[in-house]
């Protein structure tokens, strides 16, 4: 064998080694198997979505909202009437959801997310433009049509009777717009996704992302220490990806590496701030899903968050490894059971699938396969913004 041949072989081996990083390939077998597993459910959801008419937040309103018809309104989950002063300001009962809260706007947004996620997934599998045509009607209703659109802010979310007309914590509600944004990315090249519609959608998300980064509530949410700041960053990354805002994407990457991971993760891979809550199991799952989704959104060949590790050894892989045994066997959870919804977790958490692909871990994938892929409990769905993982892969 001559020197030139040896050089070519050596270069080929180097290229192969580089290509084997989690970001660039992951496990193609797991990706393929996941599509096979989910296809029947996706097509059934898409059939349902094809029959749905657009319903936006303008279809329901609350007299308790300080906003207008086009302003998203929700009420803080854990605030209740004060038994000592029933007509006065609400009081906090952490972890206990008030069933009398106004939730219609949140439900409409989750429904919208389910519709677009299903249609985008079906389009990705079949390349049939009929799914895009249906999606466009919903997208225009939410983001473009003046009569039905939602204003690009959350000034009136998570209000508290007698105390606040809106709070920064409500920003977490729009995690359900992430699969809408990702769905648009998947469907963008279809002939039914016309330039005017695409421009209108991107303008809306650009305006909302600006609000997240400049408003008082947006900046307050950015600086919360726990899962709220994780979800703020996850949303900004998702929406910036749709809008092609590289500066914001780079900012989110730096935030993950230098703020979220080092400040929230313990040396063992846990999230101490979530463990201190009255629902430590559910919050730990939720925050890990968000952290892993950030890696899925932001990682690329030049910036691999899957491989990133802090100086003291914190990494997203360590986070998955910490929680995995308690997902596989919940009875081994070392803390008290969550005060609500303990029996409803876990489901098919996206951190298991995304992590399995990134690290080629068949155990994580097998567990994901055997968990519930179609949960019905509203609180679970609300805390599961990634319900159509194929469009992210």
Q: What is the pLDDT along the chain (393 residues), one digit of tens a residue?
A: 444 344 333 333 333 333 333 444 457 789 899 999 999 999 999 999 999 999 999 999 888 888 899 999 999 888 988 889 988 889 988 878 888 888 999 999 999 999 999 999 999 999 999 999 999 999 999 999 999 999 999 999 999 988 888 999 999 999 999 999 999 999 999 999 999 999 999 999 999 999 999 999 999 999 999 999 999 999 999 999 999 999 999 999 999 999 999 999 999 999 999 999 999 999 999 999 999 999 999 999 889 999 999 999 999 999 999 999 999 999 999 999 999 999 999 999 999 999 999 999 999 999 999 999 999 999 999 999 999 999 999
Answer whether residue 10 is part of any domain.
no
| Domain span at 71 | 25-392
pLDDT at 22: 42
Q: What is the pTM of this model?
A: 0.90
Cis peptide before 346 (omega within 30 of 0): yes
Cβ–Cβ under 8 Å, residues 149 and 143: yes
Q: Is residue 192 part of a domain?
A: yes
Total Cβ atoms within 10 A of residue 346: 21
CATH code of the domain containing 373 = 1.50.10.100
* Cβ neighbour number for residue 194 with a 10 Å cutoff: 11
Question: Which neighbouring-strand residues pair with 73?
Answer: 156
Residue that the structure tokens 């009437």 belong to:
81
Q: Collect all residues with Cβ–Cβ distance below 8 Å to 354 and sequence separation of at least 6.
A: 292, 293, 295, 296, 389, 392, 393
Strands (E), the chain: 73-75, 79-80, 91-92, 156-159
**Structural domain contains residue 238:** yes
Half-sphere exposure of 87 (CA within 13 A, CB side): 0
Q: Does residue 3 sit within a domain?
A: no
pLDDT of residue 17: 34
For residue 15, being part of any structural domain is answered with: no
Residues 6 or more apart whose CB falls under 8 angstroms from that of 166 comprise: 66, 67, 154, 155, 156, 157, 158, 159, 217
Q: In angstroms, rounded to a whole number, what is the distance separating the alpha carbons of residues 389 and 351? A: 10
Residue 20 counted as domain residue = no
As a whole number of Å, the CA-based R_g of the chain is 22
User: With contact defined as beta carbons under 8 Å apart, do 229 and 222 qualify?
Assistant: yes
* Spatial contact of 299 and 317, defined as CB atoms under 8 Å apart: no
Structural domains of the chain, count: 1
Angle between helices 195-214 and 227-243 (to 10 degrees): 150
Q: Please, are residues 284 and 278 in contact by the beta-carbon 8 Å criterion?
A: no
d(CA 45, CA 41): 6
Q: Does a structural domain hold residue 17?
A: no
Report if residue 2 sits inside a domain.
no
* Greatest alpha-carbon span in the chain: 90
Cβ atoms within 10 Å, residue 164? 19
For residues 149 and 134, give the distance between their C-alpha atoms in angstroms, rounded to a whole number.
17
CA-wise closest residue to 176 among 115, 220, 122: 115
Task: Please report the pLDDT score of residue 12 as a whole number.
Answer: 38
Quote the CA–CA distance of 278 and 289 in Å, as a whole number: 19
What distances in angstroms separate CA 263 from CA 131, 160, 256, 270, 314, one per listed residue? 42, 29, 10, 11, 10
Q: Tell me the torsion sign for CA atoms 45, 48, 54, 56.
A: negative
pLDDT of residue 86: 87
Contacts of 260 (CB under 8 A, 6+ apart): 229, 230, 233, 291, 294
């Amino acid at each position: 064998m001559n020197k030139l041949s040896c050089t070519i072989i050596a270069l080929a081996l180097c290229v192969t080694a580089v290509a084997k990083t989690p970001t660039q390939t992951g496990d193609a077998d797991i990706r393929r198997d996941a599509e096979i597993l989910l296809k029947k459910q996706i097509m059934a959801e898409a059939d349902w979505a094809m029959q749905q008419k657009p319903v936006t937040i303008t279809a329901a309103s609350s007299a308790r909202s300080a906003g207008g018809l086009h302003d998203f309104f929700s009420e803080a989950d854990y605030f209740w009437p004060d038994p000592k002063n029933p007509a006065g300001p609400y009081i906090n009962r952490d972890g206990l959801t008030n069933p009398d809260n106004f939730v219609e706007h949140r439900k409409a947004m989750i429904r919208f997310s389910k519709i677009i996620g299903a249609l985008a997934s079906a389009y990705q599998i079949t390349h049939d433009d009929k799914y895009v045509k249906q999606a466009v009607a919903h997208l225009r209703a939410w983001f473009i049509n003046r009569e039905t659109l939602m204003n690009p802010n959350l000034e009136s979310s998570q209000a508290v009777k007698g105390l606040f007309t809106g709070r920064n914590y409500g920003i977490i509600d729009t995690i359900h717009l992430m699969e809408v944004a990702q769905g648009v990315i998947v469907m963008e090249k279809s002939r039914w996704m016309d330039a005017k519609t695409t421009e209108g959608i991107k303008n809306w998300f650009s305006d909302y992302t600006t609000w997240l980064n400049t408003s008082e509530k947006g900046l307050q949410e950015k600086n919360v220490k726990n899962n709220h700041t994780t979800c703020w960053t996850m949303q900004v990354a998702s929406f910036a990806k749709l809008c092609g805002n590289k500066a914001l994407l780079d900012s989110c990457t730096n935030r993950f590496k230098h703020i979220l991971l080092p400040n929230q993760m313990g040396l063992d891979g846990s999230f101490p701030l979530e463990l201190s809550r009255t629902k430590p199991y559910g919050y730990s799952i939720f925050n890990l899903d968000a952290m892993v989704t950030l890696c899925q959104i932001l990682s690329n060949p030049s910036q691999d968050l899957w491989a990133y590790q802090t100086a003291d050894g914190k990494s997203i892989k360590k986070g998955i490894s910490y929680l995995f045994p308690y997902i596989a066997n919940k009875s081994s959870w070392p803390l008290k059971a969550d005060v609500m919804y303990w029996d409803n977790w876990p489901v098919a958490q996206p951190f298991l699938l995304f992590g399995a692909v990134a690290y080629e871990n068949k155990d994580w994938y097998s567990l994901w396969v055997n968990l519930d892929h179609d949960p019905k409990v509203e609180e679970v769905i609300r805390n599961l913004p990634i319900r159509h993982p194929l469009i992210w892969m």
